[in-house]
Amino acid sequence: MAKLVAVTIVVIAIISAIPILRHTWWMAEDISTHGAPIDEQMSETMAEAGISFLASQILLAYFIWRFSGSRPGEKIKHLPGGAKAMVWAAILLVGTEVMALGIFGTKAWATIYFTPPAADAMPIQVQAGQFAFYFRYPGPDGKFGPTHPDLINEGTQNFFGLDQDHDPDSKDDIVTAEMAIPINHEIHLLMHAKDVGHSFFVPELRVQQDFVPGLDLSLHFTATKIGRYEIVCTQLCGLGHYNMKAYLSVKSQSDFDDWLKKQAAQQ
Amino acid sequence: MKAGHKIAVMSSALLVLAVGFLYPGKNVSAASEGKITGTIKLDGTAPRQRPIDMSKEPSCAKIHESNPVHMENVVAGANGALQNVVVYVSEGLTGNEASAVSSETPTWDQKGCQYIPHVMALNPNQHFKVTNSDQTSHNIHPMPKQGGPNHEWNKSQPTGAPPFDIFWTNEEIAVPVKCNIHPWMHGYMAVVKGPNAVSDASGSFTINLPPGSYTVTAWQEELGTQTQKVTVGAGKPATADFTFKAK
Amino acid sequence: MHDMSAHVTQHAPPTSFIRKHIFSLDHKVIGKQYYGMALLAAVAGMFLSWLMRIHLGWTNYAIPGLELLSKNGAPGNVMTPEFYLQLMTMHATIMVFFVLTTAPFAAFGNYFLPIQVGAEDMPFPHFNMMSFWVTFAGFLVLMSSFFVPDGPTLGGWTQYAPLSAVGKVSGPGQGTGVILWATSITLFCVGQLLGALNFITTTLDMRTRGMSMWRLPLSAWGWFITSCMGLTAFAVLMPACILLILDHVAGTSFFVPANLVINDQLQPHSGGSTLLWQHLFWFFGHPEVYIAIVPGMGMVSHVLITNMRKPMLSHRVLVYSMGALAVLSYMVYGHHMFVSGMNPVSSLAFSFPTLVITIPSTILVLIWLGSLYGAKLRINTASLFALGFVSMFISGGVSGFFLAQPSTDIMLHATYFVVGHFHMVMGVAAMFGIFAGTYFWFPKMFGRMMNETLGKLHFWLSFVGAYCIFMPFHYLGLAGNVRRYQAFVNDYTLRLIPVHRFITVAALCTGAAQLIFLYNLIHSRFWGEPATDNPWQGTSLEWSTPTTPPPHNNFGDKLPEVFHDPYQYGVEGSTGDYVMQTSPEQIKGAIDEA
């Protein structure tokens, strides 16, 4: 039976590796300007993890095959080098590799989080609330009007609690259910949670960030490919979590301008 | 005719008349059942009913692709005809009439990610059915007044789930209903005693009532309430028109 | 070092049925009670996972009989979105707390730690008894949430605020359901703290003559290290749960900030922090996962050594590695919060200890592997599950490389990749540790052998089945499949549904295979082949008890004296291929590190 166990382990290890090597189910294409280092990190980690996985499973299988049973005529042996060799192997083969991954990975993280948004980044506010995302564009005045939580009324489509009668800055704000952005133009996304925790995830954009009630966070990114992508909520927020999504539409600058005009007319 | 016969005929006639007056009239003829009809109008321009973007629910967005859906908070048609106004009797009902429960079982449907009807009027303890005609799960969440006698409930209805039967126990004008999953879905359930109606697309309504004096109230979700005193006679329907001023 | 050989723990053998089997002070009975509760919880948790998996594969399917479980949750037998989340929350809570923390640690530890150190019982038998009953009360309180009108809480076992803190306005089950959940966990923490106190004092103070710390078997070290973690981790979760309850019932706002609007209603809270809950929870949560796995590491090492007929390459290195895991586990918790909105510098800070923790984990794996070299490995059900543990721990561990780095975590956080990772290490490896312990120690606990053929069948179906279920989770995660979704309605997940269906079928088959184990347990308990005192030719103290099962005071009239390190197998110059710890035989080639 030992030999069967060994063969099974090797077969499972190889079959597990195949979909990874063939990218059968893989990450969506990267349409962001900051995604390349993330994808590189992913590939390097995959190589390290993959090699560690295959090597250790195959070694396990080999030892089970070779050293099972009473093996009459053979004595108990001990691995040359003993525990010390194993400790060094762990430190050198795995420890230093993962630390290297960690150190190189800081650059990918820093590009996203430790750089401020560009001066001409387009501000868009996104509000996450059970169970939809709504977006607000500041309009021609470039300013977002104040929000009044006590005025929020979904029945009258006042999702942000704007008081357009009394707040002049709110008058030209444009509220939409879909987020359109122009291609190759940095976006400064201002994130606000209306009720509980949510998260903003667009796989193609290489962006995932939680909304924190009580803490207004922001992200910045630039999209490099025209298309329609999904924004999905990844922080459990209640019964409608699975259906909490919105579409991100990356358009050419002129298409975006047309879209914004049309949305403004519908306010 | 002999005197005895005359007396017999006279007393029989009197008897019939007496019975005719005193008999409680269970089988009231159609001629003695009353009606209030009327039209409800909006004076002024309706506030803008913005289009609803259902893009987050593609199965519903597709249904409305050629015919976009708009908010239904103030639905004013040609000549200012106001739809979805609840009309009910606020004063003048007898004890029996006030506690009578209509035997109809209306349906509250979720279709194309909208509530159909947008406003429903029903009696306390009147059963109604909730159905889901969409390819997506909906969540029906009526929010009666906090601390009030009606209990808040929150039920999900996946595609393929059977309709469910439910009723309100107390009057409330009106219970807002929302769908948690689709924030734009919005409607009202007005729970009122006695006969009631909701105005149609032409702003008209009809309420059947026995003859008497009543106060009739019309309620519109944004424009508030209006009342009128109406006297219903047997035969000809009484008229009660309402005009709401736009804000 | 104390000479405990003359010490008597002072509880006489019980006479009444209640004292013998229900409110027992005997650590062995308490251990079995924990095992029984864990078994019940495991069956319940597994059943919930079947319902979840069927729903994920076939979302609008009317599962026959589901309406009986909850009329609101499954109208016409079709599962509602909230019911899915409620089942999911209960599945996780039951499994993490009432199976993975109780079986490897409280069940086996209670039974065997006192025996392995050479004691009559734990020093605080009344605390020990309370530990079980308070934990069991917690289990009952948790299960009772199925019977309240709105059902159990739907916020996940992680119960992030404000979803968990604002009450039923945030969803069905978020009122009473959360209060019951938090009460249950509070009780659980109290029970486990009482247990940890006993485990620590047993290990430090109750060792018999000759039993130095280094002469303790690896299973005892596993339980000892785990109990140190338990003392500190549960001590943080308990107040967090109490604060959560206060937010519900006392009008406080520990975890709820101002200006929240739910259902168009402004919530009456202000001043709280939602991230505070996450910090408190994960400060407990990360040590918790090591609490779930370290006893398994100890037990599996113990089982492997006995079956390899040789000791590990280094006893001390294994102990130091398990200890390092325990210490580091407190420094890594922020890796659950990389994209939570906490300061991104903190994310980097937490990622480094997380990467460092791969080192002791790898050392453990390499020592297990390296020790197999030159062994004479016996293949029986216990050793098969122990080997399976190693394979699963490797698989689950390498996916950690991705989750330890914030940059790659951006793509994998809250996807099925994470779910695959933790199921492999906890849901499978830890379970395999429990199975290895069961097949190995059943003869000592019940005086009968379990059926080997059924055991091997159980192993094969579980090993292959578990890989079929959980390996695909990683692919789903890479493809962007978000977790905690009751249905897959995103454009890019539609093509993943066949994968989910494959997983569901594998899960149902593997679940059915567990019935073989249940049958084996029950049948062997009453009709299994009678076992000798030392069926595996083991060296540690549990194999030297005068009777099997051990008598009330474990060792009879006299506590044992220990002369050797725990794993004297294949020692040259010894009379057999093993030397028991209690054997006074002096052997020249004995590897005595103590």
Residue B164 touches chain C, beta carbons under 8 Å: yes
pLDDT in tens, A206-262: 999 999 999 999 999 999 999 999 999 999 999 999 999 999 999 999 999 999 999
- Cβ contact A239–C80 (<8 Å): yes
Probe site for chain B from A127, A136, A154, A164 (most B CB atoms < 10 A) = A154
Question: Closest chain A residue to C89 measured between Cα atoms?
Answer: A236
Among B56, B136, B176, the residue with its CB nearest the CB of A155 is B176
Probe site for chain A from C340, C359, C407, C500 (most A CB atoms < 10 A) = C407
- Cβ contact A154–B178 (<8 Å): yes
Among B136, B143, B157, the residue with its CB nearest the CB of C263 is B143
Comparing CA positions, the residue from C54, C64, C33, C120 lying closest to residue C545 is C120
The ipTM is: 0.96
User: What pLDDT score was predicted for residue A94?
Assistant: 87
Q: Is A173 exposed, middle or buried (0-12, 13-18, 19+ CB in 10 A)?
A: buried
Which of B94-98, B139-143, C400-404 is least confident? B94-98
Residue A190 touches chain C, beta carbons under 8 Å: no
CB B183 within 8 A of CB B139: no
- Cβ contact B137–C75 (<8 Å): no
The Cα angle at residue B182 between residues B176 and B183, in degrees rounded to 5: 55
Residue C349 touches chain A, beta carbons under 8 Å: no
The Cα angle at residue A198 between residues A192 and A203, in degrees rounded to 5: 105
* List of residues 6+ apart from C120 with CB closer than 8 A: C7, C8, C9, C114, C553, C554, C555, C559
- CB-side neighbour CA atoms (13 Å) of C364: 28
Probe site for chain B from C59, C79, C80 (most B CB atoms < 10 A) = C80
Residue C394 touches chain A, beta carbons under 8 Å: yes
In one-letter notation, the amino acid at residue C364 is L
Helix axes C108-117, C27-57, angle to 10 degrees: 150
Probe site for chain A from B48, B49, B52, B55 (most A CB atoms < 10 A) = B55
- Cβ contact C78–B156 (<8 Å): no
Q: Name the helix (H) or strand (E) containing A137.
A: strand A132-137
* Domain at A122-265, CATH from 1.10.569.10, 2.60.40.420, 2.40.50.140, 3.30.70.330: 2.60.40.420
Question: Closest chain A residue to B53 measured between Cα atoms?
Answer: A177
**pLDDT averages per 10-residue partition of chain C, 594 residues:** 50 83 93 97 97 95 91 90 97 98 96 96 94 98 95 96 94 95 98 96 95 95 97 96 97 96 91 96 97 97 95 94 97 96 94 94 96 94 98 96 95 97 95 97 97 97 98 97 95 94 97 97 96 94 94 91 90 77 78 53
Comparing CA positions, the residue from C235, C217, C368 lying closest to residue C295 is C217
Question: Closest chain A residue to C402 measured between Cα atoms?
Answer: A45
Q: Give counts: helices (H), strands (E), chain A.
A: 5, 10
Report the CATH fold assignment for B32-245. Immunoglobulin-like (2.60.40)
- Cβ contact A20–C499 (<8 Å): no
CB A232 within 8 A of CB A241: no
pLDDT in tens, B161-191: 899 999 999 999 999 999 999 999 999 999 9
Chain C residues closer than 8 Å to B156 by CB: 80-83
Chain B residues closer than 8 Å to A129 by CB: 183
Among C256, C261, C387, the residue with its CB nearest the CB of A149 is C261
Which subunits count as partners of chain C given 3+ CB pairs below 8 Å?
Answer: A, B
User: What pLDDT score was predicted for residue C112?
Assistant: 97
For residues B49 and B44, give the distance between their C-alpha atoms in angstroms, rounded to a whole number: 14
pLDDT in tens, B117-138: 999 999 999 999 999 999 999 9
Residue C391 touches chain A, beta carbons under 8 Å: yes
Q: Is C516 exposed, middle or buried (0-12, 13-18, 19+ CB in 10 A)?
A: middle
Chain A residues closer than 8 Å to C154 by CB: 238-239
The arithmetic mean of pLDDT across residues A18-39, rounded, is 95
Of chain A residues 167-186, which have a CB less than 8 A from chain B?
176-178
A168 is written with which tokens?
């002049």
For residues B244 and C4, give the distance between their C-alpha atoms in angstroms, rounded to a whole number: 93
Among A16, A208, A217, the residue with its CB nearest the CB of C410 is A208
Q: How many residues does chain B have?
A: 247
Report the SS3 class of residue B120.
Answer: strand
**At A15, phi and psi to the nearest 5?**
-60, -40
Q: Name the helix (H) or strand (E) containing C228.
A: helix C218-249
Report the SS3 class of residue C262.
Answer: strand
> Per DSSP, what are the bridge partners of residue C579?
C568
For residues C443 and C550, give the distance between their C-alpha atoms in angstroms, rounded to a whole number: 11
- Cβ contact B161–C81 (<8 Å): no
Which subunits count as partners of chain B given 3+ CB pairs below 8 Å?
Answer: A, C
pLDDT in tens, B5-37: 666 666 666 665 555 555 444 444 344 478 899
- Res A124 pLDDT > 50: yes
- Cβ contact B155–C80 (<8 Å): yes
Which subunits count as partners of chain A given 3+ CB pairs below 8 Å?
Answer: B, C
Q: How far apart are the first and last CA of chain C?
A: 13
For residues C223 and A149, give the distance between their C-alpha atoms in angstroms, rounded to a whole number: 52
Domains of chain A by residue range? 2-69+83-113, 122-265
| Chain CA centroid to CA A245, Å | 15
Q: Where are the beta strands (DSSP E) in chain B?
A: 34-43, 86-91, 107-111, 114-116, 119-122, 128-132, 138-142, 155-157, 164-166, 172-179, 186-191, 196-198, 204-209, 212-220, 224-232, 238-239, 242-245
Among C358, C367, C475, the residue with its CB nearest the CB of A95 is C358
CB C386 within 8 A of CB C307: yes
> If you ran DSSP here, which 8-state letter would residue C581 be given?
T
Domains of chain B by residue range? 1-29, 32-245
> If you ran DSSP here, which 8-state letter would residue B58 be given?
H
B46/A204: higher pLDDT? A204
| Chain CA centroid to CA B7, Å | 54
Residue B140 touches chain A, beta carbons under 8 Å: no
Residue A199 touches chain C, beta carbons under 8 Å: yes
> Per DSSP, what are the bridge partners of residue B166?
B128
User: What pLDDT score was predicted for residue B3?
Assistant: 60
Residue B56 touches chain C, beta carbons under 8 Å: no
Residue A35 touches chain C, beta carbons under 8 Å: no
Residue keyed to tokens 């997506």: B136
pLDDT in tens, B48-91: 888 999 999 999 999 999 988 999 999 998 888 999 999 999 99
Chain B residues closer than 8 Å to A154 by CB: 178, 183-184, 186
Among A130, A159, A245, the residue with its CB nearest the CB of B56 is A245
Report the SS3 class of residue B127.
Answer: coil
Q: Is C220 exposed, middle or buried (0-12, 13-18, 19+ CB in 10 A)?
A: buried
pLDDT in tens, B200-219: 999 999 998 888 899 999 99
Probe site for chain B from C54, C263, C266 (most B CB atoms < 10 A) = C263
**Domains in chain C and their CATH numbers?**
31-257+283-578 (1.20.210.10)
- Cβ contact C362–A95 (<8 Å): yes
User: What pLDDT score was predicted for residue C6?
Assistant: 45
- Cβ contact A82–C266 (<8 Å): no
Whole-model pTM: value is 0.93
Residue C496 to chain B, least CA–CA distance (Å)? 19
Report the SS3 class of residue B219.
Answer: strand
Chain A residues closer than 8 Å to C359 by CB: 90-91, 94-95
- Res B151 pLDDT > 70: yes
Give me the torsion for CA of C498, C499, C502, C506, rounded to 10°: -160
* List of residues 6+ apart from C530 with CB closer than 8 A: C447, C448, C449
- Res A84 pLDDT > 60: yes
**Strand C578-579 versus strand C568-569 pairing type:** antiparallel
- Cβ contact B137–C72 (<8 Å): no
User: What pLDDT score was predicted for residue C220?
Assistant: 97
Residue A267 touches chain B, beta carbons under 8 Å: yes
User: What pLDDT score was predicted for residue B28?
Assistant: 40
User: What pLDDT score was predicted for residue C5?
Assistant: 44
| Chain CA centroid to CA A113, Å | 13
